[in-house]
Structure 1
Amino acid sequence: MFRSLRVRNYRLFASGQVVSNTGTWMQRVAQDWLVLDLAHGSGVALGITTGLQFLPLLLFGLWGGVIADRYPKRRVLMITQAAMGLLALVLGVLAITGTAQVWHVYLLAFGLGLATVVDNPTRQSFVIEMVGTRDLPNAIALNSATFNGARLVGPAVAGVLIAVLGTGPVFLLNAVSFGAVLFGLYAMRASELHGSEPVKRAKGQLREGLRYVRGRRDLMLVLVLVGFVATFGMNFQMTTALVAREVFDRGASSFGLASSMLALGALIGALMAARRVARPRLRVLVGAAALFGVLEVLTGLMPVYWSFLALLVPTGIVLMTFTTAANATMQLNVAPEMRGRVMGLYMFVFLGTNPFGAPLVGWMAEHFGPRMSIVLGGLVALASALVVAVLAAPRGAVRPALAGALRRPAAASDR
C-alpha cells in the first residue's frame, strides 16, 4: 500500500504535504467563517470568495501547464509555495488587527488562485518524476490520503481554534506550515529524479496541447465527466458551512466536524485506491460518478445533523475513488513532454470551473435553501455519468439496445 514511500524524494515531499495540507484546510475553514462573519452570513459572499479563488484557474489555468512543461518543476514549486505562505501571512495579520474587510478576503483569495494556477499542474506532473511510471497510481492515491488526512484533522482543529482564539491565528499557522514543503523540496536529491527534458519555449505550445487532448477520445470523456462533477457536485467547502449554520443552527466547531467526516471518507477511499495495482478504467470512473451523485442527493435530504454527518463518509469514499482514478488515467496515458499541459487542462476543468459553479450554488442556497444546492449537485453528477456511459459505449451498441427497449413496450401493448 505504501510502496511509493520507499523513494526518499517522495518521502520528503509527502511529509511536507502532510504539514502544509493541514494548515491549508485550517485556513479554508477560517476563511469561510471570516467571510460569513464579515458578510453577516451571506451565501452569495461565500460563493464569490470561492469563485474568486478559482477564477484565475479559469482565466490562466491552461498557461500553468505550459510553465510546468517549460521549467524545472522543483524550482517552480518552491516559488509557488513561498507565495502561498506570504498570502496566508497577510490575511492573518489583517484578521488579528481587526482591519480585515470582505474585499480584503476577495483580493487575497484571488491572489491565492494565481499561485495555484502554476502550482497545481506542476505539482501533479512532478509526482511521476519522483516515483516513476510504475508507482504513479500508488503515489497519486497516497497524495490523496495525505491531503484528506490533513482534511480530517485541519477543519476540526480550526473549529476549536476559531472558537477560542478567532480566525487570525489560524491563518498565521498556515503561513508557517509552508516551511515544511519548502524544506522537503530543498532537501531532495536531484540525481534521483526521473525528470524529462524541459520543453523549449516556442509559439503555439498551448494550442499544441489542446490539439493533443482533442484528438484523444478517452481523455475527452474523462474531462467531460470531471468537469460536470467538479462544477456542480464538489462544492462541499461551501455547502457544509451553509448547512451547518443555516439548516442545523450549528457553530464553527460543527462545521469543522462535518468537513472532517467527509475527509474521513475521502481518506478511506484514498487508502483503498492505494491498494490497487491495476490501471483504472473508464467504467470505474463512470460508476463512481453515478454512485457519488446518488449519495450526494441522499446527503442533502438527511433530516437531522447526525444523519447528515454519517452519510458524508460514504460520499467521501466514492468521491475519492472517482478523483484518484481520473488523475491516474490522465497522467498514465499521455506523452511525457505533454504531461504538464495535459494536467494543466485537467486542473482547469477540475478546479477552474468553480467560478461558475460556486456562485450558482451559493445563489441557490440563499434562495431555495442549502439542501437544494447539495441535491442539485448530486443530480448533475448522476446525469453526467449516464451521458458519458452512453458516449463511451462501443459504436453500434447503443442504438440497437435502445431500439430493442422501445420495441418491448410496443409488443406488450399489442397483446
Structure 2
Amino acid sequence: MRGRGRSNAGNHIATENKSSSRPSALQDSLYTIKTYKDFRYLWVGNFFTVGAQWLQVLTVGWLVLELTEGNALLTGSVVGIRTLPVFITGPLAGVLADRLDRRKIVMITQGSMACAAGLFALLVISTDLQSDPIQGPLEWWHAFIYMGIAGVAHSIIQPVRQAMVANTVPREALTSALALTGMAHPSMRIAGPAIGGLLIATLGFNWNFFLEALAYFAIVLLMVPVKLPYRQTKQAEHTSPFKSMAEGVNYVLHEKRILQLIVMSFIPNFVFQPLAFVLPVFT
C-alpha cells in the first residue's frame, strides 16, 4: 500500500512538472512572432489594414453628414455600400488567391487603395468645409464612389490575407498565428476611430484620408520582404475561375460545419455592424 501511494504521488508530481513545463498561450504567441519573420510582417500589416478601415468608416460618415447637412440616409448608406462588393468579388478573390501570387495581390490592392485615398484626400483638402454653403469640388457622391472602390479592395484583400497566415507559419504554430491575427480587429476597432475622431476635432477632415493613404502604403512596404515558405504549390487546373467558385460554394453548402460558421459570421455584420455606420448621426 505504501509503495502504491508513493507511486501515485510520484505520478502526480511528474504530471504537475510536465504541465508546468508547457508554454503558456502568451509564450506561444511571443514565440510565433519572434520566430517567423514573414508572419511578423503580415501581423503588423494587419493592424495598419484594420486601423485604416475604421479610420475610413468614421471619417467618411462624418464627412457625408457635413456635406449633406445632416442627411441620415446618405450618411448610413455611404458606409454600408462598402459591404456590397463582398457578395460578388469576395468569392472570386478566394479563387484568385489559389491561382496567383498572394503577396502581389495584397501589394497591388493596397497600393491601389493608397492612390484612391490620396486622390480623395486632395478633393477634401481642396474644399472649404467651413464656409456656408460649402465651396469646392467635393460632392457627397464622390464619397460613394470612393467607398465603392474601398469595398472592392476590402473584399479582395480579406480572404487573401487570411490565406497568407497559413503560408507564413508551420501547421503546429497555426493556432497561435490565427489568434494573433484576430487581435487586430478588436484593438483597432477602438484605436482607429479614436485617432480619427481626435484628428477631426483638432485638424478637421483634411488629414484623415492622407493618414489612411500612408497606412496602405506602409502595408505595401511591409509586404516587400515577405515570403510564403509554407504554401503548397499546386499544378494549375485548366478550369475557369467561375467554375472553381461554383465548386467552392457547393462545398460550403454541403459541409454543415462550414455553413454554420459562415451563417454565424453574418449575424454581427447584419445586426450590429450597421449601428456603427450611423453613429455620426448621433454625435
- TM-score range, shorter-chain basis? 0.7 to 0.9
Q: Identical aligned pairs, as a percentage?
A: 25
1:18–1:150 CA contact under 8 A, matched in 2 = yes
Pairwise mapping of residues 298-337 of structure 1 onto structure 2 (< 5 A)?
none
Map 1:114-263; keep pairs closer than 5 Å: 114-190=152-228, 192-197=229-234, 199-203=236-240, 204-243=243-282, 245=283
Q: TM-score, normalised by structure 1?
A: 0.55
Please report how far the alpha carbon of residue 105 of structure 1 lies from its aligned counterpart in structure 2 after TM superposition. Answer: 0.2
Equivalence for 2:3: none
Find the aligned partners of 2:75 and 2:176 in 1 and give their Cα distance.
35
| Cα distance between partner residues in 2 of 1:189 and 1:126 | 10
TM-score, length-scaled by structure 2: 0.79
Aligned counterparts, 1:11-410, within 5 A: 11-98=40-127, 99-190=137-228, 192-197=229-234, 199-203=236-240, 204-243=243-282, 245=283
Q: Which amino acid aligns with 1:115?
A: A
**1:41, distance to aligned residue in structure 2 (A):** 2.0
1:164 & 1:94 partners in 2: Cα distance? 20
Q: Structure 2 vs 1, CA of residues 59 and 16 (structure 1 numbering), >3 Å: closer, same or farther?
A: closer
Query: Following TM superposition, by how much is the alpha carbon of 1:65 offset from its aligned partner in structure 2, in angstroms?
Result: 1.3
**1:77, CA displacement in angstroms?**
0.9
Judge conservation of contact 2:102–2:164 (CA < 8 Å) in 1.
yes
Larger radius of gyration: 2
* Structure-2 change in CA distance of 1:211 and 1:105 (3 Å): same
The residue number in structure 2 matching 1:4 is 32
Q: Paired residues, what number?
A: 243
Partners of 1:23 and 1:215 in 2: how far apart? 36
Paired letter, 1:242? V
1:131 and 1:194 in contact (8 A); partners too = no
Q: Which runs of 5 or more structure 1 residues have no equivalent in the other structure?
A: 246-415
Bigger drift between 118-127 and 57-66 goes to 57-66
Does the CA contact (< 8 Å) of 2:80 and 2:277 recur in 1? no
Q: Which structure is higher in RCO with an 8 Å CA cutoff and minimum separation 6?
A: 2
**Structure 1 residues 198 and 13: alpha-carbon distance in aligned structure 2, compared to 1, 3 A threshold:** farther
1:206-259 CA distance string (max 9 Å, x none): 11111211221111122222223321222242143334x2xxxxxxxxxxxxxx
Q: CA shift at 1:134, angstroms?
A: 2.7
The 3 A distance-change label for structure 1 pair 140 and 198 is: farther
State the Cα RMSD in Å: 2.0
Query: Match of 2:234, as an amino acid?
Result: E
CA contact (8 A) 2:52 2:215 kept: yes
